[in-house]
Amino acid sequence: MFRRHLDYYVRYLDHDIPAGVVVFLVAVPLCLGIAVASGAPPFSGVIAGIIGGLVVSLVSGSQLSVSGPAAGLTVIVATAVEKLGFDAMLLAVALSGLLQVAMGFLRAGVIGAFFPSAVIKGMLAAIGLILIMKQLPHAVGYDADAEADLSFLEDDSHTRLSFLWDAFHSFSTGAVIVSAVSLAIMLLWDTPYIKKHRYLSIAPGPLVAVLFGIAYNVVAQTLFPSLAIAPQHLVNLPAIFGPIDFAREFNFPDFARLIDVQIYITAATLALVGSLETLLSLEAVDKLDPLKRIAPTNQELKAQGVGNFLSGMLGGLPITAVIVRSSASIDAGAHTKVASFVHGVLLLLSAMFLASVLNMIPLACLAAVLLLTGYKLAKPKLFVQQYEKGFNQFAPFAVTIGAILSTDLLKGMAIGMAVGLFFVLRANYHSAFTLTRDGRNYLLRLQKDVSFLNKAQLRNYLENVEENSYLVIDGTRAGFIDQDIMETIQDFIKAASDYNIRVELKDMRGLEPVNGLVPAE
C-alpha cells in the first residue's frame, strides 16, 4: 500500500514541484506581511508558513489545500499580542491547536454549516476593511502605531480615521512610491494579458512587487538618498545563516499564563475562527480541484490542530488553510500535496540562508500586498451582491461588519449571529402556514416543520376562519409538528362546533377525533 501511495505522488512530481515553487513565491510576502500586520515578529510568519507546508500537508487529507498564516486571523492575533504579550499569544495558539484536534475527533467538521453565509461574508469583509485601515499608514511610511487593537475605535477614544489623518501628515515619499507602484504591479498582474502571457505569468504579482521594492531602495540609496527608505521601515528578521542560527530564534510560550482566563478565550476564538476559515477554504479548493476529490473535514481539523500546536510551541503565528495560496497552487498545475510540501521546504531554506535578502524588503511593499488582500476581502461588488439578495441577507452582513469594527471579532460575530438567527426565525415564522379561502371553504396548509415559535401565527389564521365554514388542515408537507402546535389545533377543534365549523385533518398525526372533527379518508 505504501508503494502504491509513493508511486501516486512520484507520478505527478513534474507538476507538483514547479507548482510548489510558485506557491513559495506567493507565500513569502504574505507570511512576512501578515506577521507585520499582526504586530508579531516577521520570523513568526515564516515559522507558520514552514509548519503549514511541512507538517499540515502531511497530516491533511486534502491533496490541494495549502496552509499557513492567514489574513483572517490578524484581528485576533494583533489584539492578543497587544493585550497579552507575544509569548502569551503563542500559548493561546498552541492551546487552540489542541482544541482543533479535539474538534476533529468530535467530528465537528460540519460547524461551518451552522454559520449563516451572510455572517461569514460580513466577518471576512470586516477583516478586509481593518486590514486596509491598518496598512494605509505603513503604505505611506508611518509606522508609529503598534499593531494593536484592530477596531474602529482606539483605546484612547481616537478613531482609526483620526490616526490615518495623522499618518498622511507624516508620510515618506519613498514609501508612497513603493506602495503605489507595488499596488499597480499587482493589479496589472491580475489582468488577463499578464495571466495569459507565456513568461510574465510565471512570476506571481506579489513577488514582482517585492522585487521592485528591493530594487527601488537599492537604487535610491545610491542615486536619490532623500527618496530612500530608512532601515527602520524595512523587514527586520534576525541574522540567520544555517540550521543552528535558525533554531536559536525559536520563541516558546509563556506557560506561567496558563492560569489566565484570557488565554483560553483567545485560544477558543482562534480555534473557532481558524476552523471556519479552513473549512471555507477547503470547500472552495474541492470545487477548484480538476479531479473533484473531496477532502475529509474532520481530518483537516486534526491536521490544522497539529500544525497550530507546533506553531505556537515554536514561536509561529496561527495557521489555517488559505485559499490564495491554494488557488495559486492549482493554477500552477499542482496535482497532490507534494506542491504544498515543496513550498514548505523552500520557505525553510530561505529562512535559513536568505534572511539578509528578506531584510531588504520595505514594509511599504508588504503593506501594498495586504492592502490588495483587504480589498479582495471587502470588494464593493460583495456589498452590492449582498444588497441584491434582499434585506434578510444584507442586514446580518452589514451588522456583522459594523459590530466587528466597533467592538472586536468575537463580539461582532456573536452580534451578527444573533441578527442572522432573528431573520431565520422571522422567515420561518412568516412561511410556516398558508391559508386559502373559497367561499365558506378554507384550506390551512402547514408548509414546513413547525414549532412553538409559529403558534401565534397559527392562532391568527384560525381566528380568521368564519362561522358556518368547512376547514381542512393539511400537514402533508410537515415532517415535524411541535406538541404546542398540536394542542393549539386540538383546542380549536374542541371549540369549532360552537361556531358550526367542521374540521377535516389531513396527515395530522397524533390528533384525536373530537366533536366537530372530520378525519380525512
CB environment 395-414: b (16+ within 10 A), e (fewer): bbbbbbbbbbbebbbbebbe
Residue 310: the pLDDT is 97
Average pLDDT over residues 475-503: 85
- Give the pTM: 0.74
Rounded Cα distance between 159 and 405, Å, is 11
Residue 382 has pLDDT above 60, yes or no: yes
pLDDT of the residue at 166: 59
Report the distance separating Cα 289 and Cα 335, nearest Å: 9
Q: 242-249: long-range contacts at Cβ-Cβ below 8 A with a sequence spacing of 24 or more?
A: 242/352, 242/353, 243/352, 245/352, 246/351, 246/352, 249/43, 249/315
> Per-residue pLDDT tens for 407-441?
777 788 889 889 988 887 777 666 778 888 888 89
Query: 469 exposed, middle or buried (CB, 10 Å; 0-12, 13-18, 19+)?
Result: middle
Are the beta carbons of 186 and 205 closer than 8 angstroms? Answer: yes
Question: DSSP letters along 94-162, please?
Answer: HHHHHHHHHHHHTT-TTGGGGS-HHHHHHHHHHHHHHHHHHHHHHHTT---S-S---SSB-TTS-BHHH
Find out whether 60 and 365 touch, Cβ atoms under 8 Å.
no
- 485 has a pLDDT exceeding 60: yes
- Whole-number pLDDT of residue 163: 56
The three cell numbers locating residue 60: 491533511
- Kindly indicate the confidence band of residue 521, based on its pLDDT and cuts at 50, 70 and 90: very low
Looking at per-residue pLDDT, the higher value among 2 and 501 belongs to 501
35's grid cell: 506577521
Residue 391 has pLDDT above 80, yes or no: yes
**Phi, psi of 156, deg, nearest 5:** -95, 20
262-280 confidence digits (pLDDT tens) = 999 999 999 998 998 898 8
Alpha carbon separation from 170 to 139, 161, 173, 231 (Å, rounded): 12, 15, 10, 17
Q: How far is CA 187 from CA 190, 211, 215, in A?
A: 5, 15, 19
470, 504 in Cβ contact below 8 A? yes
Average pLDDT over residues 31-54: 92
C-alpha cell at 275: 476552523
pLDDT band per the 50, 70, 90 thresholds, residue 305? very high
Establish how many alpha carbons lie within 13 A of residue 165's alpha carbon, considering only the half-sphere containing its beta carbon.
Answer: 5
Please check the confidence at residue 233 and state whether its pLDDT lies above 60: yes
Please report which confidence band the pLDDT of residue 515 belongs to, taking 50, 70 and 90 as the band edges.
very low
Contact 76, 273 (CB under 8 A): yes
Is pLDDT above 60 for 508? Answer: yes
310 vs 495, residue with greater confidence: 310
Question: Across residues 309-324, what is the average pLDDT?
Answer: 93
Q: How high does pLDDT run on average in the chain?
A: 84
Q: For 132-161, what is each residue's pLDDT tens digit? A: 888 888 888 776 554 444 444 444 444 555
* 5 pLDDT tier (thresholds 50, 70, 90): low
Q: Which helix (H) or strand (E) holds 244?
A: helix 243-248
- Asked whether the predicted pLDDT for residue 61 surpasses 70, the reply is yes
- DSSP line for 414-458: HHHHHHHHHHHHHHHHHHSEEEEEETTEEEEEE-S-B-GGGHHHH
The DSSP symbol for 256 reads G
The CB-side HSE value for 326 (13 A sphere, CA atoms) comes to 28
With cut-offs at 50, 70 and 90, classify the pLDDT of residue 449.
Answer: confident
Taking the C-alpha atoms of residue 455 and residue 516, their distance in angstroms, rounded to an integer, is: 21
User: Grid cell 500586498 — which residue?
Assistant: 369
pLDDT at 285: 84
- Name residue 480's amino acid: F
Distance from C-alpha of 174 to C-alpha of 234, rounded to nearest angstrom: 12
Q: In this predicted model, what pLDDT tens digit does every residue of 158-174 receive, in sequence order?
A: 455 555 555 555 677 88
Per the CB < 8 A criterion, the answer to whether 449 and 480 are in contact is yes
What pLDDT was estimated at residue 148?
41
Query: Alpha-carbon distance 264 to 268, whole Å?
Result: 6
What are the structural domains, with CATH classification, of the chain? 17-141+153-378 (no CATH), 380-431 (no CATH), 432-519 (3.30.750.24)
pLDDT digits (tens, 9 = 90+) for 115-127: 788 888 888 888 7
Q: Which long-range contacts (CB under 8 A, 24 or more apart) does 455-462 make?
A: 455/484, 455/485, 455/488, 457/429, 457/430, 457/432, 457/433, 458/432, 458/433, 458/485, 458/488, 458/489, 459/488, 461/433, 461/435, 462/488, 462/489, 462/492
| Percentage of the chain modeled with pLDDT above 70 | 90
